[in-house]
Structure 1
Amino acid sequence: MTADIFADAPADLVRDDRVAGRVYTDPDLFEREMALIFERTWVWVAHESELPQPGCFKSTHVGRQPVVVTRDRAGNLHTLLNRCRHRGASVCEKPRGRVNGFTCPYHAWSYGLDGALRGVPYPGGYEGVLDKREMSLRKLRTETYGGFVFATFDAEIEPLADFLGDARLWIDRFVKQGGGYPIKVLGKHQFKFRGNWKIQLENSTDGYHFPIVHRSWMASVDAETADMMSFMNDPAAITHDLGNGHSVMQMVPEHSDLDADDGTEPLQGRFSHVVEELSKTFDDAQVRRLVRAMHGTGFNLNLFPNISLSSAFLRVLRPVSADETWIEHVAIGPDGPPEVEIVNRERLRIHEHFQGPFGFGTPDDAEGWDRVQRGAQAAPGMPIMVNRGLGREEVNAAGWPTSHVTDETGMRAAYQQWKQMMSHD
Structure 2
Amino acid sequence: MSHDTTTPAELAAADRVAGRLYTDPEIFEGEISRIFERTWVWVAHESELPGPGTFKSAHVGRQPVIVTRDRKGTLHTLLNRCRHRGASLCEKPKGQANGFTCPYHAWSYGLDGKLRGIPYPEGYEGVIEKGELSLKKLRTESYGGMVFATFHDGIESLEEFLGDAKLWIDRFMKQGGGYPIKVLGKHRFKFRGNWKIQLENTTDGYHFPIVHRSWMASVDAETADMMSFMTDPSAITHALGNGHSVMQMVPGHSDLDADDGTEPLQGRFDHLIKDLAQTLEPAQVRKVVRAMHGTGFNLNLFPNVSMSAAFFRVLRPISVDETEIEHIAIGPDGPPELDAVNRERLRIHEHFQGPFGFGTPDDAEGWDRVQRGAQGAPDMPILVNRGLAREKASPEGWPTSHVTDETGMRAAYGQWKEMMRDA
Q: TM-score of the superposition, structure 1-length normalised?
A: 0.98
Is 2:49 the counterpart of 1:48? no
What is the match of residue 32 of structure 1? Answer: 30
CA distance in 2, matches of 1:400, 1:355: 30
What is the match of residue 67 of structure 1? Answer: 65
Please tell me the residue identity of whatever aligns with 2:153.
A
What is the match of residue 150 of structure 1? Answer: 148
- Contact 1:7/1:13 (8 A) holds in 2: no
Segments ≥4 residues shifted beyond 6 Å: none
**Which of 336, 346, 349 is 1:348 aligned to?**
346
CA distance in 1, matches of 2:359, 2:264: 26
**Which of 402, 408, 411 is 1:410 aligned to?**
408
CA distance in 1, matches of 2:296, 2:101: 45
CA distance in 1, matches of 2:38, 2:410: 21
Give unpaired runs (5+ residues) of structure 2.
Answer: none
- Contact 1:30/1:321 (8 A) holds in 2: yes
Seq. identity, %: 80
TM-superposed CA distance for 1:163, in Å, is: 0.1
- Contact 1:242/1:400 (8 A) holds in 2: yes
TM-superposed CA distance for 1:424, in Å, is: 3.2
TM-superposed CA distance for 1:280, in Å, is: 0.7
Is 2:105 the counterpart of 1:113? no
SS at match of 2:23: coil
CA distance in 2, matches of 1:330, 1:105: 30
Deviations 1:27-81 (A, max 9, x none): 0000000000000000000000000010100001000000000000000000000
TM-superposed CA distance for 1:167, in Å, is: 0.1
What is the match of residue 255 of structure 2? Answer: 257
Please tell me the residue identity of whatever aligns with 1:347.
R
CA distance in 1, matches of 2:66, 2:98: 14
TM-superposed CA distance for 1:129, in Å, is: 1.0
What is the match of residue 296 of structure 1? Answer: 294
How does 1:111-150 map onto structure 2 within 5 Å?
Answer: 111-150=109-148
How does 1:181-192 map onto structure 2 within 5 Å?
Answer: 181-192=179-190
SS at match of 1:210: helix
CA distance in 1, matches of 2:231, 2:37: 40
What is the match of residue 366 of structure 1? Answer: 364
SS at match of 1:258: coil
CA distance in 1, matches of 2:394, 2:186: 36
CA distance in 2, matches of 1:8, 1:390: 26
Q: TM-score of the superposition, structure 2-length normalised?
A: 0.99
**Which of 156, 166, 169 is 1:168 aligned to?**
166
Please tell me the residue identity of whatever aligns with 2:314.
V
How does 1:258-337 map onto structure 2 within 5 Å?
Answer: 258-337=256-335
CA distance in 2, matches of 1:336, 1:191: 30
What is the match of residue 226 of structure 1? Answer: 224
SS at match of 2:142: strand
SS at match of 1:199: helix
